[in-house]
Structure 1
């Protein structure tokens, strides 16, 4: 299966920097999922370890963990990192809406 999500170069750099700076072990990856249910849920990002309910992908050297139940909702999303006047942080957006 091809990669279910895309990660921008800026987000990749930030993820790698965060993992290294916090000495997070290799067993952890970037969890992409949903908080809440189905279409009304909000995207969830964080560092976590995989469980039996997860699908694990290697996307451009980044370990990405997605709960199999969330997979159909996060297919095609773009993970980015933005720095703005209101602070900086990760953004998750659907590519289909653009």
Structure 2
């Protein structure tokens, strides 16, 4: 059974990812989305450029871009939308995550409704 990618990316996010990958210039670079323990609410979002593919990763190939998310993070990100806004205040990448019971004021950390098992 093929697993579906847990996050939907908006056109604005895809455009900004394309700019970041082009600026980086490495042919094998992709964007990694995920979560890790930490932050003021227990978990924090991870968004980084990466070149290491792992067996536990799920991949989304869209418009010539590759996006990765590990299966453990997918539990916390399932149903999320990843967006980008160029606003001067509050701009940048942002997750809209239905699995959050509480988030911090800056929006980079959260307390999940779900637990990985």
- The normalised TM-score by structure 2 is 0.67
The SS at the match of 2:91 is: strand
Find the structure with the greater CA-based Rg.
2
Deviating 4+ runs (over 3 angstroms) = none
Q: 1:82·1:88 contact (CA, 8 Å) conserved in 2?
A: yes
Q: 2:78·2:99 contact (CA, 8 Å) conserved in 1?
A: no
For the pair 1:51 / 2:54, whether they are aligned, the reply is: yes
- The normalised TM-score by structure 1 is 0.78
Q: Hey, what does 1:3 align to over in structure 2? A: 5
What do the CA deviations read for 1:26-62 (whole angstroms, capped 9, x no partner)?
x22111100217x831211111122223222224543
Greater fraction strand: 1
Q: Hey, what does 2:106 align to over in structure 1? A: none
Q: 2:5·2:59 contact (CA, 8 Å) conserved in 1?
A: no
RMSD over aligned Cα, in angstroms?
2.3
Q: Aligned residue pairs: how many?
A: 95
Q: 1:3·1:59 contact (CA, 8 Å) conserved in 2?
A: no
Show structure 2 runs of 5+ residues with no match: 101-117
Residue 21 of structure 1: which of 23, 31, 35 is its match?
23
Q: Which moved more, 1:2-11 or 1:55-64?
A: 55-64
Q: Hey, what does 2:35 align to over in structure 1? A: 34
